[in-house]
Amino acid sequence: MGKTLTQKILEKQLVVGQYEQGKEIGIRIDQTLTQDATGTMAYLQFEAMGLNRVKTDLSVSYVDHNTIQIGFENADDHRYLQTVAAKYGIYYSRAGNGICHQVHLERFGKPGTTLLGSDSHTPTGGGIGQIAIGAGGLDVALAMAGEPFYLTCPRVIKINLTGRLQPWVSSKDVILKILDLFTTKGNVGCVFEYGGPGIETLTVPERATITNMGAECGVTTSIFPSDDETRKFLAAQSRENDWQELSADPDAEYFKIVDINLSELVPLASTPHSPGNISTVKELEGLEVNQVCVGSCTNSSFRDLMVVAESLKGKRVHPHVSFVLAPGSRQVVNMLARNGSLADLIECGVRLVENACGFCIGNSQSPQSNAVSLRTSNRNFLGRSGTKDANVYLVSPETAAAAILTGKITDPRDMKMPYPNVEMPDKFAVDDSMILPPSDNPDNIEIYRGPNIGEPPTNDAMPESINGIVTIVAGDYTTTDHIIPAGSRMKYRSNVPKYSEFLFEVVDPDFYHRAREIKESGRQNVIVGGVSYGQGSSREHAALCPMYMGVRAVLAKSFERIHTANLINFGIVPLTFKNEADFATIQQGNNLEIPDIREKIAHGKPLQVKNTTQGVEYEVEYDLSERASEIVLAGGMLSLIKNKA
């Protein structure tokens, strides 16, 4: 039987276990990336491991999230990151150089290798034929220390592309179609592997848009073969030597095959407040738009911004629309400047902002109250834009361009404009001067630590029994943006006690006070969640801050992959209801006892939960490998490492 591309790469990298669907495996990681918002904690954890240098082939530290710099905290963190990178053998991409995923694709991504990134959109690298996976910062720190990365050996789903995209329909519409088919839940442990004749019609940046936003389906990663298009892209980035041809065997067996005919796709949009709520643009037509934001790691390539620039050339932004553009990288903006498109955009009335995450993470450009905001980014969770009652729609650059001109949601195919034919350049404007290599004299580097940097907190071992209180009953699809907001709060990422004050701020601003009271009374906090708990980002603070507040268990209907791993890494046990109907019996403030939890997890025995307030008792389940049980019982990975030392 032939092999999928995923299997070929994972088998090559396998260091623990056997390639068997559903089993835990450990793989060697070739490359890592971090960004500043998750990176400070990741490097503090790396430092705590006591190594002199990273053990990966390549590690890159990007600064792209917290670049607004209101107050000293962000700039101090950047300086910390720069000195750590210089000392430990890490490349440092300075603020202003661009968004980690875009820059990594341009300058470092290598077909056939593995990349682990402390950001959930790391699968962008799948566009170039890399197995690129998002993870919590601690897992990335461990990978930098040469440890294997553990994952569930995936079920590989083939997405078979046929046909060709029609004018004004683009790769964003492909991934929105996939979100429509697969939704944001139920895909844990899967990989989307693309194939079929349609892939030849897509360039690497278009493929990367698709693999980037596969993250919203909750898959482990997404990957395209490495073919002649990949070679051309790498050659245009002056990196043809990094190319190798890679594809699945023709007789590879897949868990499932889903066909998508590109020729039949139409412009689509995610409607508020989930990337999985899909409508056609036609269905939304006429809705007045207040803001259009173009950029983010999903849609900020040269191709995407050229489509927008060409569509707007010689025209003016609609008077009711605020048009914001955040280019993906310095390379992209440089090329737009050189070919005159930047001037076209400025003439049109763009509000040009830094090459960074910016609006996408809600640290700037929050729209007005009740706004309709069209964005080319990948997440429209409640409150993420910084304006809680805003309605954010996720669209393609083409649909964004139409709304910039008309002030309404408009099907771009009806604009009666010629479709911009953007050719991929033979040579991109390569200039790595904003990527600083590590120091040749690491001993001379002193690490800078501003007052915002605290020690990463650790946890105590799991108690014999849990005698806890339900601090919150969170609903279905609770995302990490609900658990701990980013935006203007993100500057406290290096200061866990302070950042913890904002836990569940968007949905329940009193959470912190209740949790503190319970913790101070010597009881444990227990979080109860619905379906797909922990969707979205990789931010480990969604586990680290609850841990700091004394949360010991999360009991949910189901969990998403990265968040589960983060909970385990910080000594919080993820439990699921054996019978989902038991969820309805729990209320905030109930006493929950889990007797003999230590002993039972250690021996893999079933766990009983007693709700002594409601007088009910039932079984809950957990799916922990031997390795994961050991971590949870020790009180998290750092405690385990300390115990072993």
- Positions in the binding site for ligand MIC (CB under 6 A): 37-38, 65, 119-121, 134, 361, 486, 536-539
Least distance in angstroms from the C-beta of 120 to ligand MIC = 4
Q: Under the criterion CB under 6 A, does residue 365 sit at the interface with ligand SF4?
A: no
Task: Indicate the residue among 120 and 222 with the shorter CB distance to ligand MIC.
Answer: 120
Separation between Cα atoms, residue 4 and residue 21, nearest integer Å: 13
Separation between Cα atoms, residue 96 and residue 92, nearest integer Å: 12
Instruction: Determine if residue 542 is left, alpha or beta; phi over 0 gives left, psi from -120 to 50 gives alpha, anything else beta.
Output: alpha
Contact 157, 254 (CB under 8 A): yes
Q: Under the criterion CB under 6 A, does residue 524 sit at the interface with ligand SF4?
A: no
Interface residues for ligand SF4 in 378-397 (CB under 6 A)? 378
Task: Indicate the residue among 381 and 428 with the shorter CB distance to ligand SF4.
Answer: 381
Name the pairing type of β-strands 616-621 and 607-611: antiparallel
- For the record, the structure tokens of 344 come out as 């076209």
Q: Under the criterion CB under 6 A, does residue 494 sit at the interface with ligand SF4?
A: no
**Which whole-number Å values give the CA distances from 95 to 47, 98, 115, 302, 436, in the listed order?**
22, 7, 21, 19, 11
Task: Indicate the residue among 304 and 540 with the shorter CB distance to ligand MIC.
Answer: 540
**Which whole-number Å values give the CA distances from 401 to 345, 395, 559, in the listed order?**
11, 10, 37
Q: Under the criterion CB under 6 A, does residue 332 sit at the interface with ligand SF4?
A: no
Among 73, 76, 106, 119, binds ligand SF4 (CB under 6 A): 119
Name the pairing type of β-strands 351-352 and 435-436: unpaired
Phi, psi (rounded to 5 degrees) for 329:
-155, 165
Which of ligand MIC, ligand SF4, none interacts with 538 (beta carbon under 5 to 8 A by kind)? ligand MIC
Among 54, 84, 95, 99, binds ligand SF4 (CB under 6 A): 99
The 39-78 contact track toward ligand SF4, x by CB under 6 A, reads --------------------------x-------------
**Binding span for ligand SF4 by CB under 6 A among 87-95, 306-314, 353-361, 404-412:** 353-361
Would you tell me the crossing angle of helices 561-569 and 541-548 to the nearest 10 degrees?
40
Least distance in angstroms from the C-beta of 360 to ligand SF4 = 3
Q: Under the criterion CB under 6 A, does residue 208 sit at the interface with ligand SF4?
A: no
**Which whole-number Å values give the CA distances from 201 to 86, 109, 171, 221, 565, in the listed order?**
41, 21, 11, 22, 37
Q: Under the criterion CB under 6 A, does residue 366 sit at the interface with ligand SF4?
A: no
Which of ligand SF4, ligand MIC, none interacts with 40 (beta carbon under 5 to 8 A by kind)? none
Strand order in the sheet with 149-152: 14-16, 24-27, 149-152
Strand intervals (E) in 532-640: 551-556, 573-577, 591-594, 607-611, 616-621
Separation between Cα atoms, residue 530 and residue 474, nearest integer Å: 6
Separation between Cα atoms, residue 378 and residue 175, nearest integer Å: 10
Q: Under the criterion CB under 6 A, does residue 357 sit at the interface with ligand SF4?
A: yes
Task: Indicate the residue among 39 and 574 with the shorter CB distance to ligand SF4.
Answer: 39
Instruction: Determine if residue 40 is left, alpha or beta; phi over 0 gives left, psi from -120 to 50 gives alpha, anything else beta.
Output: alpha
Which of ligand MIC, ligand SF4, none interacts with 601 (beta carbon under 5 to 8 A by kind)? none
Q: Under the criterion CB under 6 A, does residue 481 sit at the interface with ligand SF4?
A: no
Q: Under the criterion CB under 6 A, does residue 360 sit at the interface with ligand SF4?
A: yes
Nearest CA-CA partner of 576 in 590, 588, 562, 564: 564
Which of ligand SF4, ligand MIC, none interacts with 377 (beta carbon under 5 to 8 A by kind)? ligand SF4
- For the record, the structure tokens of 42 come out as 């990741």
Which of ligand SF4, ligand MIC, none interacts with 147 (beta carbon under 5 to 8 A by kind)? none
Task: Indicate the residue among 83 and 376 with the shorter CB distance to ligand SF4.
Answer: 376
Q: Under the criterion CB under 6 A, does residue 274 sit at the interface with ligand SF4?
A: no
Which of ligand MIC, ligand SF4, none interacts with 99 (beta carbon under 5 to 8 A by kind)? ligand SF4
Residue 509's SS3 state is coil
- CB count, 10 Å around CB of 584? 9
Among 121, 303, 541, 561, binds ligand SF4 (CB under 6 A): 121
Task: Indicate the residue among 184 and 296 with the shorter CB distance to ligand SF4.
Answer: 296
Contact 609, 618 (CB under 8 A): yes
Q: Under the criterion CB under 6 A, does residue 532 sit at the interface with ligand SF4?
A: no
Q: Under the criterion CB under 6 A, does residue 641 sit at the interface with ligand SF4?
A: no
DSSP state of 517: H
Query: Which residues are within 8 A (CB) of 505 and not within 5 positions of it... i.e. 6 or more apart?
Result: 484, 485, 489, 511
Task: Indicate the residue among 121 and 493 with the shorter CB distance to ligand SF4.
Answer: 121
Q: Under the criterion CB under 6 A, does residue 361 sit at the interface with ligand SF4?
A: yes
Task: Indicate the residue among 121 and 318 with the shorter CB distance to ligand MIC.
Answer: 121
Contact 268, 281 (CB under 8 A): yes
Least distance in angstroms from the C-beta of 333 to ligand SF4 = 15
Total of residues contacting ligand SF4 (CB under 6 A) = 11
Least distance in angstroms from the C-beta of 536 to ligand MIC = 6
Least distance in angstroms from the C-beta of 217 to ligand SF4 = 15
Interface residues for ligand SF4 in 289-308 (CB under 6 A)? 296-297
Phi, psi (rounded to 5 degrees) for 503:
-55, 130
Among 377, 380, 478, 524, binds ligand SF4 (CB under 6 A): 377
Residues forming contacts to ligand SF4 in the complex (CB under 6 A) are: 65, 99, 119, 121, 296-297, 357, 360-361, 377-378
